[in-house]
Structure formats: structure tokens, C-alpha cells
Structure 1
Amino acid sequence: MTGCFPEGSGTGRAAGSGGRRIRVAMMQPPRSALSPLSDDAFKLSRWSTAETLVVLDENGDPKPALATEWKRNGKSWTFTLRDGVTFHDGTAFDAQAVVRSLRRAAIASPKPRILDGVELTVRATGDRTVTVTTAEEDPLVPHRLSSPQLSILAAKAYRNGKTVDPVGAGTGPFELVGVRGTSAATLDRYDGYWGGRARLAGIDVTFVPDGTARAAALRSGEADVVEAVPVSQAALLDQDLITEVPMPRTCTLYLNTETGPFRKAGLRAAARAAIDAEALVTGVYEKRADLARGLLGPALPWAAELRGEVTYPKATAPAGARITLGTFTDRAELPEVAQLLQQQLEKAGFTVELEVREYAQIEADALDGAFDAFILSRATVLDSGDPVAYLYSDFASAGSFNISQLADAGVDTALDTAGATPSGTARRRGVMKGEAAVLATVAAVPMLHERVIQGDAKGVTGVAHDPRERELITIDTDLA
């Protein structure tokens, strides 16, 4: 275990003053040098270092953060900015800073998922106000601006035109002061934080992709907070140290509708019929997961209430059809899920070649359609608190995360309609019509909904247990 945690953990600048530092073991290493325009943004959010104009409450409704209020006028939304905020480098948070960050996100390639299908412009309309305008009326602009990928950073973060460097550039209670590649990161308390003084002096983060090693770190006392304890390890830990939370995260089998055997809807239907998801829930997840009835799970209780019947295409015999099945090692359960699916599909008559790699080495191939089938653990409301963004990203013809290579006019229409509907019951009904349209294509087979298992050592208080994976260490986190 000493190989997983760097020497000197807990000896950052703030520790020298006698402050308490917390040691965090996280699952996935940075993929893009902690650029907020990538999925690394959620690490910055979970460390309370980078902040957004808006955050979401427990119900997924927007509430103030760096913006204190907002109002809508057709396609435009005007946000009033919070006074008394400074960046970690001492520069002032103002309208120009917001414009700079949001404009950079709007022209990024690839775009942050939250902006898929959205044309967004932003301008300063005063020292403390900015106006965000979209090409089409968008009822979810405040929700979109809550995405960690739209964090507001100081000018220094953008000095290199090709990358965004968040070190020392956030506004949160903790300042990112050092990053050691894909192995570790160090954060110190920022005493100039607008929301008050954090209880901890700092955070020492170590990236530990191996789930067994993360669990061992909690058991041995090497870590105070452990992200994503594997199901296989949970039973071996003191049950008082783990918390299980239903996640808006679905383990789904994506089927390539563009090339290979699964171009044919009948073979996709045959694959769906072959899958025994209950065996996965019981055998792999040891009943610490929920059987999927659709793409959206129990973390969104309204989904089950509004879900209707889906008509699936008729299955045709596989007759030995050869398929490649891919997944990744970063989530400890997925390789075992892949092995069981291989057995189930081969029993149904498919010939299955299995390929398993680390996520960083397999994502590009999956997005390029290199696999006939791909197993993905996917957050369904990670970005906006609203599942339309996930559905559009993964299943719309223009979606940037369309592993299934799906191009279906009915799906596109349903998702466009849902996206244009104001938030509330009507929008939720539209979401479920979109889900039904996707399921009817059998481009994706939802298998189970995960629960996150987080480990907190004895004496740790004030750690967030967030289903959306946006919060972890907060201003109130402390060590006894």
C-alpha cells in the first residue's frame, strides 16, 4: 500500500501550521490534466476548488452559487454575480471572468457534454451581470450552468491557448496547489473564500485505480475518505465505515447500430433477450444494485411512475454471429460483468471476443465504433441534473458520446421535444417518451442501476454523500 500513497502525504503548506489535512483515495486518475472542460471537472468540484454560477439542490432544482439570482427573457438569461469573491490568485471575480470562462467552454473541441446541441453566447451587461443567450429557447440554462465543466476560473488558467490549467485559479474553499501527473494532487485551505473558512487545512489526494487497493487503504488507515469501494470489497470492511447511496448511474450494454452484426435490429433484440441482468445484480454486485427497468433508475423516482410499455423488434437467431465486446477496468465490477455477458451471449448463439482495457486507453475506440458491443457504467444526470443532456449526448444523431452510433429520426424528435419543454411534469413525460424511443431501437440494453459505496474513516465528519458525484470534501468536512 505504500506504493499507492506518496511519501509526505499530509505535509502540505497548511499542515505546517498544525492544521488537519484529509487523505482521499480517488478512483480515476485525471484524463486531461484536470482541465475543467473534460470529465476531470468533477474532481475539481468534489474537492471544492472550482465553482459554478449555479448549483443544484437535492431535487435537482437550481440554486445560487457564484450567481445570486437570474431572470429569463426569451432566449436570454441574465445572471447577477456575487460580490466579495476572489480567485485563488487574488484577482477579482467579475463579469469579464465569467465571459472568459463560458466563451472558452462554448468553443472547446470537443464541447463539454452539457453544451451538446446548444449554441451559447455570453456577454457582460454590467460589472456584476452577464447575459447568456442561446440560439433556441432553452428552459435549462441555469441547470446547464451548474455543470462543473462550466466552472469559472481566473485568467491565469487560460494563458496557454491549447489547455486550461486550474492550479491556483478557482474560487472555492480549497486551492489546488500541486498536481503530480496521474498519481496525486494537493489542495490547501483558501482563507479568502467568500463562504467562510474551511475546517480542514487541506486535502491530499491520491489516485488509486485499483479497487482492492482503495478498500485496503481504508482498512489500514492509509486513507480517510475512499471513493467508489468495489462491491467485492464492501463486505470485508467495517460496515459502519461505508455508506451506500442509490446512484443516477446505469450499467448499460451499448450495441453498435452502424456497423457489424448489430446493424440488424433482430440481432440486437436477440442480444437483449439473452441477458440475465438479475444474475449480474446477484452474482457480481452482491445485491448492492437495482435491476434496470429502463435507462433511468430509482435515483429519479418519477421515472418509474411515468414509464410506459416499450415495443421491441422481433429477435432473430444469432447463428454464431461474431461480435467484439469491450469494457474497462477502472470500475472493478465491469470486467466480471463482461465475462458473464460473454457466457450469456455465447449460450444464445453468438461468438464473443472480449476486450478489456483501462478507460483512458479504450474510450476513443468505443466512441469511434470499434466494438460491436460495449459495457459502460454511465451517469444519467451527471451534468445538468436533468436526464435530457445524457439522452441527447448518448443517443441523438449529433450526440458527442454516441457509442451506439445511433441515428434514428424518431429518437431525435423525441429528445428535441423533451429538450424544448419547460421543467416540471410535462418535461418529465417528454423524457420518458425519449427513453422509450431509445429502448425501442435496442441501441442500448440497460442492465442495472448502481449504488455508490463510499468509505469514511472513523472520526471523519461533514463529508458529502452525493448521488450526482459533484460533492465530496466540503467546507464543513473535518477530522476528529
Structure 2
Amino acid sequence: MPFPRYSRHPRLLSVLLLAPLLTGCFASGGGAGEASDGKDGSRLRIALAFPPAENLSPYGADATILSRLGVTEGLTALDANGAAAPALAASWRRENDRTWLFTLRDATFQDGTAVTPAAVAASLTRATRAEPAPAALSGVTLAAKAEGEGAVRITTGETDPVLPLRLSSPGLAVLSPNAYEKQDTVDPVGTATGPFELTKVTGTAAADLDRYDDYWGGRAQASGLDVRFIADGTARANALRTGQVDIAEAIPVAQAASLDKDTRRETATTRTTSLLLNTKSGVFKDASLRAAARAAVDTSALAKGVYEGHADAGAGIYGPAVTWAEGKRVKPTGQADAGDPDGASVTLATYDNRPELPEAAQVLKQQLENAGFAVKLEVREYSRLESDALAGKFDAFVGARNSLLDTGDPVSLLAGDFTCDGGYNLALLCDKGVDRAVAKAQAVADTDERQDAAMAAEAAVLGTDAVVPLVHQRVITGVGAKVSGVLLDPYERTLAGTGTRR
């Protein structure tokens, strides 16, 4: 059905109403908004969309917050082409099928202690014992051991040809021994290695960071970061427009026109918005009803309507930003014939940190109801929704997922999100055919062949109708006219770095 065009006037009114509420948001903590002397640089004020959900633990969703703010690093990083690049490890070599040797660079933790092989090995070992496991370790076991004065030897339980990519994950950041003083928590405040050091965290509202002057990669040009977590997208856009922040992530497409053209940055990303169907319990345990839901969805209406052209209609789990995917895509097989919903009642959930999602969910609700489902829509802030979604308390879930965020490896996403043992399996899918296809892909070392195997595994996942790709997003970031050096990449791992300044 055609997507209805709604008036934007209520949104403009909300911008005006929110303005006084934001006044003073950055008035306290770390000299927010005040320029220090020219030599030391100014502090940057940043508005992020997602507040910490797990007390800034590096092992879950909060790991990306730490990475984007330049707090944490791993042994490796991703370069512009998605290949593994040096970070805390200056180089590495593969010794045999299961063993790699990583040579460390000379660096220090923000608490002043040295980044030693023993500290790195201990940090990685702690990650392997985390519950739930970091997404990058889904289906993988590894052991890290100090080797001499400058290297770490890592051995995997089975052959892992993409280990250097895996170690770039924000969830495998290296922290100092002081971060692990408490048995059940990990404290990233002052214990990481990046150019900015966390100095204060105010619950889910704010975080203050100072420049770490001894950073191995050079002294940052900004003297610090004053971060506020603002879940409301209209409020983030308004804060940038009125000069209360220097950088605002995830600007809603409905607010883009309210910003000056030179303050908008649109980045093609590997993020796909999808409809995930609960395959374990409830209505969508029935494959024919999953097929009916898939048939009911009009993805072009979402791309052109809700996203106002700032997205592409869903083609698969991997979108246009994964440039090699389209030429290798495999048609799904084994999809069930669509059944008759006959008024079956479903609960559709999503979160409002990304403002387009509730609107997309509303359109999906209409499409599913037109197909014969009875739909109840539930919208919450993400941190209040994730645990229930993972526990299968909803029949369907609309979420935005960066397909290459956790490791940079396309196969690892499939293992984490769609296999029986996956740590972020929102569809609760457990299908032997999918597990076999993913396992086959995991064993492939050659890059081109691994991509082929990933697309075959994608086809196996899509064949279950556990997930319906909706749109591939282009993210809009608000950047103040005087700000330069913002780090925007399709993997959404970076934002502020040594060259970010105003």
C-alpha cells in the first residue's frame, strides 16, 4: 500500500517546546562549552542517542559507546576497506591453523601502567569468561598468553581465519588490570588506552572525558569531551541547531531539513533495519505465518516514506555499503508458503532511540493488519527493551543492526544473530540448515570464498523467514560548522579521535 505522508508541523512544534528543556544540559562538568587556551584546544560537546545499558561494560552494546568516544581500543582496528589494521598490536603473523602471534606497540594505559603482554592476555581472558559472551566471541573459544616482553600468542579452539578482524571488535577492548579489581564488573574509567579518558559517568545521563596526553597515537587536539545521552532525536537535532552541542549523532530524517546543509553529514553504513520474528514461541513459530508476514511487508514504502529517501529498500542482511554483497547474493530457498493469519494476535516491539523505528513499526503494523494479523505495538527506550527482546517476550521486533559492527566479518554476524548458540539471536532461531551453512562459512579462509560462503549462509537464514530486511540506512550526523575531523565510517565504530576539534 502507498505510504501516507504525514504533516511535519507537530515535529516543528516539538522542536520549539524542547528548546528550554535543553538549556543548561551542558552547563556543568568538565568545563563544557568553554574553550581553554588555544594550545590546549577546546572541549567538544557531544549528544549521543543511546544511553549506557550495561554501566558501560565493554562486553555488550555499550562497547560501541566507548569506541566511538575514543576511550577504548583493541589489538586491531578496521581500515576504510574493512580490513584488519594495527592498533595496540603493531603487527601479527599466523603461526599455524589455530595460533597467531601479535607484537605489541609501546603504549600505556590511562592509569599510567604499561600495556604489557601479561596485561593484554589477562584482559582478553577476562572477555572470554564474560556472561553473556561478547558478540565477537560467539561460537569461538580462544586462549591468550604472554610471549616474552613484547608479544601475545593467541590460540583458538578451532581454525579461525579472521581472528585479526575479530580482535578489532569494540567488545574485545584491552583494559588495564585495575579495570578488573571487582569480580563481577569491569570499570573502563581511567583504565583504557585511547586518546580520551573517562573521568566521570553520571548514570545514563552524561559522561565527561579528558584528553589522555600520553596516548601512543599522538595528543588529541580537543582537550576533552562532554557527552550527554539524549534519546529523543528531535532534542538532539535541536541541540545542534541552537549551538548547544558540537556533534549530534543519529539525526532523524524528519529533522534533517531543520539543520543547515553544511552541518549535515550523511554516511552510507552497513546498518540494516529488519523485522525479526520470534521463531521459538507464539504466532511466528509457524513458518507459514512468518511467510505471511514477509509477504505483507512493502519495503519501498519504508525507504521512500519513513526514511524520506535516506535509505535503500531491504535487499538482504547485507546492504549496498557492503560493496561486494550484491554481486554474490544468493536467492533464498525453502521458504514456506504464506498461511492465513486469520486474526492472529501479535505484539510488535521497537525502540525510540532511533526515531524512524517507531514510525516504521507503525507502518508495519498497518501492513500486517491489512494481511490479517491483529497487532499490538510496544515502544520503549532501548535499554528497557533489550532483555525482554532477547528473552523472546515479543512476537516481532523492529531493530537496526550494523551487520559488520562486532567483528567486520560478515560470517560472525550470522553466527551471533541467527544460530542456535548466537548471543544476540533476537529471532530465537535454531535451524540445523542455518547452523551448517554458517559453520561451513566460518571455516573458509580465502576472502573471496568466505564472502561467497557468507552469502550462501545469508540465503539459508532468509529462507527461514526469521528476519525480513526492511531498509539499509544512511546515517545523518549533525556536525557544527566550526567542527572538523569527525570520524564517520560505515561500521559506526568511530566518532571522536585525535584530529577532532573546533
**Band the TM-score falls in, shorter-chain normalisation:** over 0.9
2:75 corresponds to: 53
Pick from 428, 437, 454 the counterpart of residue 477 of structure 2: 454
**CA RMSD between the two structures:** 1.5
| Shift in CA distance, 345/13, structure 1 to aligned 2, threshold 3 Å | closer
Listed as ranges, the gaps of 5+ residues in structure 2 are 1-18
1:408 corresponds to: 431
How far off is 1:14 after superposition?
A: 10
Q: How does 1:136-175 map to 2 (within 5 A)?
A: 136-175=158-197
CA distance in 1 between counterparts of 2:296 and 2:309 reads: 21
2:361 corresponds to: 338
Deviation by residue 1:339-362 (Cα, 9 ceiling, x = unmatched)? 111111111111111111111111
Matched, 1:284 2:321: no
1:224 corresponds to: 246
CA distance in 2 between counterparts of 1:369 and 1:193 reads: 43
Matched, 1:41 2:63: yes
1:357 corresponds to: 380
Name which of structure 1's ranges 16-25 and 353-362 shifts more when overlaid on structure 2: 16-25
2:322 corresponds to: 300
| Shift in CA distance, 14/234, structure 1 to aligned 2, threshold 3 Å | closer
Contact 2:72 2:173 in 1 (8 A): yes
| Counterpart AA for 2:330 | G
2:142 corresponds to: 120
Matched, 1:236 2:258: yes
CA distance in 2 between counterparts of 1:15 and 1:108 reads: 40
Secondary structure of residue in 1 paired with 2:358: helix
Pick from 26, 31, 35 the counterpart of residue 11 of structure 1: 31
Listed as ranges, the gaps of 5+ residues in structure 1 are none
How far off is 1:187 after superposition?
A: 1.1
Aligned length: 478
Secondary structure of residue in 2 paired with 1:441: coil
Contact 1:15 1:202 in 2 (8 A): no
Contact 1:465 1:472 in 2 (8 A): yes
Contact 2:41 2:501 in 1 (8 A): no
Contact 1:81 1:128 in 2 (8 A): yes
1:397 corresponds to: 420
How far off is 1:7 after superposition?
A: 1.9
Contact 2:272 2:402 in 1 (8 A): yes
Pick from 244, 249, 264 the counterpart of residue 286 of structure 2: 264
Tell me the percent identity: 51
| Counterpart AA for 2:349 | G
1:323 corresponds to: 346
Deviation by residue 1:39-91 (Cα, 9 ceiling, x = unmatched)? 211111111121111011111111111111111122011100102x1111111
1:179 corresponds to: 201
Deviation by residue 1:287-346 (Cα, 9 ceiling, x = unmatched)? 110011111100101111001222332111111111111111111111111111111111
| Counterpart AA for 1:275 | V
Q: TM (normalized to structure 1)?
A: 0.97
Deviation by residue 1:362-406 (Cα, 9 ceiling, x = unmatched)? 111111111111111111000111121111111101111111111
| Shift in CA distance, 260/150, structure 1 to aligned 2, threshold 3 Å | same
Deviation by residue 1:95-153 (Cα, 9 ceiling, x = unmatched)? 01101110110000011000001111111111111111111010011111101111111
Matched, 1:202 2:224: yes
| Shift in CA distance, 423/239, structure 1 to aligned 2, threshold 3 Å | farther
Displaced runs of 4+ in structure 1, greater than 3 A? 1-4, 12-19
CA distance in 1 between counterparts of 2:127 and 2:48 reads: 26
Secondary structure of residue in 1 paired with 2:463: helix
Secondary structure of residue in 2 paired with 1:205: strand
Matched, 1:387 2:410: yes
Secondary structure of residue in 2 paired with 1:478: coil
How far off is 1:2 after superposition?
A: 5.7
How far off is 1:247 after superposition?
A: 1.1
2:105 corresponds to: 82
| Counterpart AA for 1:401 | Y
CA distance in 1 between counterparts of 2:179 and 2:117 reads: 16
| Shift in CA distance, 197/162, structure 1 to aligned 2, threshold 3 Å | same
| Counterpart AA for 1:47 | L
